[in-house]
Structure 1
Amino acid sequence: MEDIMTPDVKIVRWPAESGKLEGFRMQGLPCLIVVARGARVPELAGAHEDWVRQPVEAWELKTRIASLHLKATSRSAAPVVDEDGLLRYGGAVLPLTVSEAAVLRGLVQRRPGMVSRAELAERLLSANRSASQNALDLHMMRLRRKVLSVGLAIETVRGRGFLLKTRSLADPSG
Structure 2
Amino acid sequence: MRVLVIEDDMTLGHALQEFLADQGYAVDWLTDGDKVLGALAGQTYDLLLLDLNLPGRSGLDVLRQLRQDGNQVPVLIVTARDGLDDRVAGLDAGADDYVTKPFDLPELAARVRVFGRRRSGQAQPLIEAGTLSFDTVGREVRANGQRLSLSVRELSVLEMLMARAGRVVTKRQIVNSLSAWDADFSENAVEVYVYRLRKRLEGTGASIQTVRGFGYMLETQAA
- Class of the TM-score when normalised by the shorter of the 2 chains: 0.3 to 0.5
Name the TM-score, length of structure 1 as normaliser.
0.46
* TM-score, scaled to structure 2: 0.37
**Higher RCO (C-alpha under 8 Å, 6+ residues apart):** 2
